[in-house]
Structure formats: structure tokens, C-alpha cells
Structure 1
């Protein structure tokens, strides 16, 4: 997919702290763009621009002309601040107040790196917004019923974890399993290392462990926890704080504490970067021994590193496919393709992700390209069909 200038790019400077926030709208479909809001130190306009373009691609890859949910455009927001810093919540409220005209009109947003949906909902209410996704409401056939269905879905818990926190990880895990099945690799004995044990990484680890894979390493802000015999994923999840940091008192005698980047060189077949962007660069890629890197985070592998990895036979399954189920689950539920039921949601996610991964890998084989290039090719074919149906801006 050829890079082009986004439809709108905005830099906001907080009048209290001088910190910057960003909003990039890559494309509108039916007058609306969808994409989360992240908060992290060092967040840049360039980063948010790439994420917004990725959201356009995720929406297009899930285009089904027969579904009730039809794609929106892509957008993204970002705030350059540590979410743990004093005053971070107040900064979030001021950002949302400044972005209120856009959120009310055409930007539908939600949780991303550093922010939970609960926190965004609370800050949005304080900023005077009806909802962080209210721009979508005019597109609904029955707004009251749709909003109740989504609220009911957010209230569903599975083994103590909210369905909204599990949907994305289910999609990532299914992408891993689809790749293993295609290669004829059995689940038992397949080892996984996960960077990040927040919403996406934690759910991915849970689904993969329950499928029979062995999670041998997880990394959080304090470092890497490793055990070649396998970690107790459920115990680690139960010992997390709100930022995905594991209480080390929960570790077992065989668990080892290693440096934060040790997950990269874990003796594992699958690496799942599920935390920050730009996690794997050219200086890191030579340490990787895995056969697959599955991008649960947005933009974790830098392009040059991916090129070098491909030359060594390492397959990168790209973020625009792998982590797209989070966004799609919201809209499948809101528009009524699925109900507020965990089993129905998981079945739909698994079926859809299996089909999408297969389509991408088939295209990569046919074109002799990487999975990312194949995903971009699929987007390039689908965007004109979406534009022909809905126009560029309406």
C-alpha cells in the first residue's frame, strides 16, 4: 500500500504542561474514521500517522459487503506522556476537551497503549462527551438497541476477565494457530515468548496456553520472566496490576527474572510483541531464534529489520491483520453481526481471523512476497470497492 498524505493531521499543545497530543485522520468512510487513543512517553506525530494508516487497512481487510458492519475510515490519537505520571489523567481530560468537536463529528476512538477503556470513558464524560464512539451513532439503524448490546458485551466476563479485554487476544492467538496449522506444526511443544502482559499480550498468552502451547517467557516494564518448562500464565495474569506489570511474589521457584529485552532471544518458535511500537530494529533482529513473529502490537517490527528477518527465514505476521479483531469486535457487536455473548464472539473472531490469515498467506505464496506485502495488496484492491460504494468523504 503506497504511503500518501492523511486527510487531516493535527498537533495539540497542552496549555498547562506544554505536552503535545496528536490526531491523524487517514480516511473517512461514511463520514467517520475509527482508531484508538494511546498515551506513552515519546509518542510522535509520525507514529500516530502510521497507526492511522494501519487503521484504514484494518477496516478494509474486514470489509464484507453482506455484513451489517461495513468499514469506517482510519484514524488515531496519541499523547506524549507517561500514563503513570502525576497529572496524566488531567492531561487526558484536557486533550479530549480539545478534541471534542472531532469526536462528536467524525472520530470514533477507544483504548490503546497506556489507556484503558474505563479510563477513557471516565475522562470523556468529564470532557462533556456522550461517548468516545458517538460519531458512529448516526450510522446505526437502532441506536438505543445497538448501544445496549455493546454495553452488555462490555459487562461480560470470562474467568474474571472482560470480554472486551479478550477479543483482541483471541484474534492474535488464532493467527498463531492458523500459521502453525498451515505449517503442520503441533501445538504441544511449540514455545511462545510474549512482550507485554497488558490487555492484548495477556489475552494472547491465555488463549495460546489453553490451546496447548508453552509460554516460556513474558516481558513487562520490570523485565522478562522466563521458564523453559513453561510459565503459569493464569497465575501471572492474576498477579498483574492495571498496567500489565506482574507482582514478582507470584513467581514459582523455576521462574527466572531476566533483563527486559531477553524475550527477544528466547528459545521459542513464536515471538509475540504485544507492547510498544518499534520494538524490533536492525540491532535486535539477529538475536531472534523464532520462526514466526506475530505482531500483536502496532508497528513493532521496523521495515529494515523485517527485511533482514525474512532473509533468515523468519516470517512476520503483520499487525494490520493479526491485531485487527479488537476493532472489528466493537463494530460487529455494535452493528449487530454478533450479540453480547462470549462464545458467539470468540467463534466469529476465530472464523474470521482464520479466513483472513489464510487469504493473506495464500496471496503471499502466489505473489512470492511477504505476508505484509500480501496484506497491503488486499487493501489496495478493497479500498476502491469501498470508495465506489460510499465515496471518499461521505
Structure 2
């Protein structure tokens, strides 16, 4: 099979025998017998949502396949995703997580490599995985490694690296999102200095993206969390807000400065900004609220934040959506660049490799979009369609 199949390879629903909570695993496809995709926990998570995310992971993996670089050690995997319909803040959420991973243990051991996603931190996933009897959440990839011991040590050392108080594993995703946005701005000739950005979500991805865009010269004018939007047209102090957030990305309002304002939850969407970054929940931008967007670019740091119908309306208004399958693919790729040995456990090396790879990928997608007269998402899909047959021929689904 040389293209994305109409149905996933594996699709299952799990019911927690203690609470009745449902969880889901979808393996969209395998490459060399292995798939990759995070585990999210949020109230309202559905099988359809997880299936869409798994399909997106197949695309992200294919987009990072460098067929012309024989020296690359990272060979992309298939796509998968896990999800649990539970509020991660609920008192019994951790127990649900442990029981889900215990039930999914045969899949994690053999075909599904996973990690943190919406609602979960990597530390929490790792702790739950240990309690569930797993060696690692990426152990399905171990048979593909030339030196398993060295690879595991390299990844563990990378996860121990911090930069200005934030873990490297949290920062690389935001570095990739920021580089995608900067690449689009550079192609359009828009200078970084003076450009404004508004973000929904200030957790792992949103917080890191805000840091990198701020350090690139953009002014962060709005940040939204579960308590509402914090805005300041003169610019927010990103580092102060990062220092004042809790484990779920909620900012302590006591840290706000003079000029910072507390605004309604959806104020981030209508902010006067060139760049809009939805970095929280799926389906955040719909056919109604898209009309409030003033930004030139919507940069999808979250998975599936813009509904397809809304994207069509935005395109008609000249607003470019940089798609999630490109923009937020850096986190997943960093895991594999590190584990397979393309980079070492060093922050500057990781950021340089991420910037180089994400800029090249974004440029390639935007060039294809310009040549074909289509949206960047359609262009990304076309690139995936070009690459999947090559991956299937070289590596197969199961071998």
C-alpha cells in the first residue's frame, strides 16, 4: 500500500473498569512495524479526534523523511495516537492513566511509541508507564537501534537538559513552531521587529513558542490560558509569565505588570497581531469566530485547531494557515533525532538542527503551495503523497 489508507490499521476503545472512563488508541499505519504518536488526556476526547490525530502523525513522519540524505539515522515511523476522555486535573486522573497504559502495554511494547501530549507532562507519563510495568514509552523502537544502551542514555541525558529553567524536551517543539512562523514572515519580507503575536495556550508548546518568538524580536501582545486572556498592546513580559505559570500552563495573575490587562477568554483570537498561534485545544477556530481574526498568519501549534470550513473562509480573506502537520512536528522529530543519534543531548545542537529542519520543511511546503496555487495544508498533503510510496517501497509496513 503506497498511500494513506481510508481506515486506520488499529482502532480500539478501552473502558476503565473502575470509573467507566473511555480511552482510545489508533494506529494509522506502521513503518518497519512501529508507529509514533503522543498520548493526550482531556475531557471530551473522542475516538474520531484520536483517529484524526493519528492520521496527522503519519503525515508528520512522512514530511520528515529525508530520502536524499543517506547519512540520516532517523528513519520515520508510522503514525498513531492515544487519548483518554478525562479531565487531567480530576482527582482520579492519574489512576486512569496508569490503568490505560497497563491495558495498552502490549501495544506500547511492540508497535506504539508514545509520549506527552495535551493535558499530560512527560514526567507524569513516564511515572505512570513505570507503574504500569513498561520499560519505556518508546521501547517499541528499541529493536530498530544499532546501540540501544547508548541511544537510551543519550535520550535520558537530553531530557535532563534545561535552558533558563525550562526542559529541553519542552522547548524544542516551540522552537519548531517559531521557526515555521519566522520562515513564512521571511518569505513575505515582513521584519521580525515590530511584528506582534497572540497565543492561545501557555503550556509546553505555547510557552516555548512565546519565548522563541519573543527572542526573535516579535512582541507578544496576548496570551490565553484557562482563566482567560492576558493582553498588553505594548508587549507582555514573556519570561515573567513563564515563571508564574503552573504545571498546566495557567498564569498566576499576581505576576501581571502595570499595563497588562485581564480580558475575556476569546480575546486572543481578535488581537491586533500579525501572527496568531492556537497552541491549546483542537477545534478552537470555527466558521463563526474566524471572522474576528485580524492576523496574516495562523500558526497551528496545537493539533487540528482550525476547522476545515474555517480554514477555507480564512483563505478567502487572505489569511494563511500554516498547518499542524508541519508546524508542530518538531517535538516528535527531536525525540527520534536524539534517540537514533542524528544529534546529541545538547540544547544548542538541538535548536540548530530543529531550526534548520523546520525552516527547510516550511519553505518546501510554501514553495509547493505557491507553485500549485493551493493552501499550505494541501501542499503538505501533496508532499506526503509523494513520499509515502517511497517509504513503503524501502521499509514496508511490518519488516
1:113 Cα offset (Å): 0.1
The equivalences for 1:61-140 within 5 A come to 61-65=63-67, 66=70, 67-140=72-145
Aligned residues between the structures = 394
1:393 Cα offset (Å): 2.6
Q: Does 1:48 align with 2:50?
A: yes
Q: Does 1:186 align with 2:203?
A: no
SS at match of 1:217: strand
Q: Distance in 2 between matches of 1:127 and 1:362?
A: 46
Partner of 1:198: 203
The equivalences for 1:278-297 within 5 A come to 278-297=283-302
SS at match of 1:78: strand
1:151 Cα offset (Å): 0.5
Q: Distance in 2 between matches of 1:393 and 1:378?
A: 23
Q: Structure 1, residues 201-252: CA drift from partner, whole Å, max 9, x if none?
A: 0000000000110000000000000000000000000000000000000000
Q: Distance in 2 between matches of 1:44 and 1:218?
A: 27
**Of the candidates 327, 331, 345, which is equivalent to residue 326 of structure 1?**
331
Partner of 2:254: 249
Partner of 1:31: 33
**59-68 vs 134-143, which moves further:** 59-68
1:326 Cα offset (Å): 0.1
**Of the candidates 218, 229, 237, which is equivalent to residue 232 of structure 1?**
237
Q: Does 1:154 align with 2:156?
A: no
What TM-score results when the alignment is normalised by the length of structure 2? 0.98
Q: Distance in 2 between matches of 1:89 and 1:83?
A: 8
Structure 2: gaps of 5 or more residues: none
Q: Does 1:337 align with 2:342?
A: yes
Partner of 1:20: 22
Q: Distance in 1 between matches of 2:396 and 2:196?
A: 46
Q: Which runs of 4+ in 1 moved over 4 A?
A: none
1:4 Cα offset (Å): 1.2
Q: Does 1:143 align with 2:130?
A: no
Q: Distance in 2 between matches of 1:77 and 1:137?
A: 20
Partner of 2:383: 378
What TM-score results when the alignment is normalised by the length of structure 1? 0.99
Structure 1: gaps of 5 or more residues: none
Q: Structure 1, residues 348-384: CA drift from partner, whole Å, max 9, x if none?
A: 0001111100100000000000000000000000000
